[in-house]
Structure 1
Amino acid sequence: MRNVLLATAALTLIAAPAMAQSISNPEVKGSIGYTQLDGDDATLGAVTGRLTANFNRYVGVEGEASFGVKDDEITVAGVTGDLSHEYDAAAYVVGTLPVTPNFELFGRVGYGTTQIKAEAAGLSATEDGESVNYGAGANYFFDGRNGVRADWTRRDFTDDNGGELDTYGLSYVRRF
């Protein structure tokens, strides 16, 4: 039993520098693309940028930020107006499953904030919403560095009448 414990301790000491190196030197990916936001009353569009740091092949973190580029027309109580996506930002924990060297699946869960603006009849209102986000997607790399990303994310807004919002994204992704 003592030999098993000593061998386990020795392996732990040998593996610790490799684990620390992967945390201090993560694989970094950046992406930029278009995201469609599908809500109950409107469909909006945004340009989204992301930065992902994978600490090993399977676990990482991701930050994203978007700003609106496509508004939608809405009608409330017979009054027509515009709904626009101002911005959103979110942070995620990402789990990755490498299928081949060029193709990987991922799932993510995180927390974000979104700001929407409505304008009608000369009046405007801005609403912020905090959300718990979760989703899945895939990256395909044409070569070792350049590829495409497709993803879906559900935003569950935390306030009483916040509802849900689905996003669908298509992006260019680059490994650094």
Structure 2
Amino acid sequence: MFKKIAAAATLVIASSSAFAQQAPQFYVGAEASSTKLDGAGREGGFGGFVGYKFNQTVAIEAGYNRLADGDVDVDGHNVNVKFNQTSISVIGTLPLSSGFNLFGRLGYNEIKVKGSYMGVSASEKLDDGVVYGVGLGYAFSPAISGRLEVSKPISEMTKVTAGVAFHF
């Protein structure tokens, strides 16, 4: 009798891990953002990301975001300024009920600023270091999910994003 129970338990464990392995692994997505730099106003932006889910709770993700794009008056000259972010992060996810999840982000990012005036442009690294954030996700289906997130790319900057991801 013990052997039958052990065999049944082994089959249940093996089948549940087989189902867990069938979950989508790679994903790509797009997001819209609102970024606030201390001492300045909010700027709208956009970005994209790619990721790999190791399991239901851990993923790695790389992203690129245009944090801000606007014109600034510098000594009476109109200069176009763009802030860009590249990042790589580990994403930890806590599944909740009904398709919802909470997630946290911890990683490395680099912020570059690019200015252009009359066809001449220059780019410079503004800052790099730790990026962290928290968010709420929702799975609309096994292949499509949405997310809202608040993150800190640098200490003087707060970014709020809304995004959609496609899993395959």
TM-score (norm 2): 0.71
Task: Name structure 2 gaps, 5 residues minimum.
Answer: 1-9
Aligned length: 151
Query: Is the Cα contact below 8 Å between 1:44 and 1:84 reproduced in 2?
Result: no
Q: Deviations over 1:69-123 (max 9, x none)?
A: x5233345666543222x3211111110000251111001000112112346987
Query: Is the Cα contact below 8 Å between 1:58 and 1:97 reproduced in 2?
Result: yes
Q: Distance in 2 between matches of 1:56 and 1:137?
A: 18
Corresponding residue number in structure 2 for 1:99: 96
Alpha-carbon deviation of 1:168?
Answer: 1.2
Query: Is the Cα contact below 8 Å between 2:115 and 2:123 reproduced in 1?
Result: yes
Change (3 A) 1:115 1:71: same
Corresponding residue number in structure 2 for 1:148: 146
Answering whether residue 160 of structure 2 is matched by residue 168 of structure 1, we say: yes
Question: How do 1:16-27 residues align onto structure 2 when only pairs under 5 Å count?
Answer: 27=25
**In the alignment, which of 87, 90, 94 is matched to residue 90 of structure 1?**
87
Answering whether residue 126 of structure 2 is matched by residue 134 of structure 1, we say: no
Task: Name structure 1 gaps, 5 residues minimum.
Answer: 1-10, 157-162
Answering whether residue 50 of structure 2 is matched by residue 51 of structure 1, we say: yes
Q: Distance in 1 between matches of 2:99 and 2:65?
A: 26
Query: Is the Cα contact below 8 Å between 2:45 and 2:69 reproduced in 1?
Result: no
CA RMSD of aligned residues (A): 3.2
